[in-house]
Amino acid sequence: MSSLGQSHQSDDEEFVRKHQFDVVNINCERVDDYAVTRVFLNPIYHFTVSIKEGYGQTPYWGNLIAARVGDELVPIPRPVRDGTYSDLRMFSPDLKLTSQDVAETLQRALDLVFPTAPDNKWTDKFRHNGNQWTFVRGRSFIGPASQGEFVLTTDDKGTIMEVKYVRSPTIP
């Protein structure tokens, strides 16, 4: 507040704490879909944060996905660049990627945790070649920059050993 030329009042902190929900609203919902509880190790939560602007009738809002890991709430970022996800603790150790049925469940979980834009269209949602499973995260009419894929490598028992994200993959 001092940046607006106002001095700090002794009751500012208490006042803001009391009225913060007049301008910011946070809704939280646990994602209890079967696919999510089967695929991910920790409980997953979907947050919607709404912020009222002073000049408009429509509030700004944003979405956040987070997981409960022990006594912490950890954000799950949407992938934005190519790379390997080194933390495999997000997947349940009981998950064995060995069949089309399990892959469909995993794809549904990814759809809920990493949703694609509603206008994304694709012909295949996942592909399997040897010990590599590729989960398509959108093929849109907009162009290659909007495409992305998770590439999971498994061992011979179906345990996920590596997770990569590839943005703008080459479409077969």
Q: What is the pLDDT along the chain (172 residues), one digit of tens a residue?
A: 445 556 566 788 888 888 888 888 889 999 999 999 999 999 999 998 888 776 666 667 778 889 998 899 988 887 777 888 766 568 898 999 999 999 999 999 988 888 776 655 555 578 999 999 998 876 544 444 556 888 999 999 999 999 998 886 655 5
Residue 73 falls inside a structural domain = yes
Domain with 101, as residue range(s), is: 2-167
Measured in degrees and rounded to the nearest 5, phi and psi for residue 36 equal -65, -45
pLDDT for the residue 34: 95
- Flag whether 172 is in a domain: no
Nearest to 126 by CA among 144, 146, 99: 99
**Residue 41 within any structural domain of the chain:** yes
Question: Quick count: other Cβ atoms within 10 Å of Cβ 105?
Answer: 19
Report the domain count for the chain: 1
* Cα dihedral value 66, 68, 69, 72, nearest 10: 90
C-alpha to C-alpha distance for 107 and 126, rounded to whole angstroms: 7
Residue 13 CB neighbour total at 10 angstroms: 10
Whether 62 is in a domain gets the answer: yes
Neighbours of 129 (CB within 10 A): 7
Asked if residue 61 is part of any domain, the answer here is yes
Question: Does a structural domain hold residue 57?
Answer: yes
Classify residue 117: in a domain, yes or no: yes
- Residue 65, judged by CB atoms within 10 A of its CB (0-12, 13-18, 19+), counts as middle
Q: What is the pTM of this model?
A: 0.75
Kindly give, in sequence order, each residue whose CB lies less than 8 Å from that of residue 170, ignoring residues fewer than 6 positions away. none
pLDDT at 149: 86
Q: Is residue 143 part of a domain?
A: yes
- The two tokens of residue 50 are 């709404």
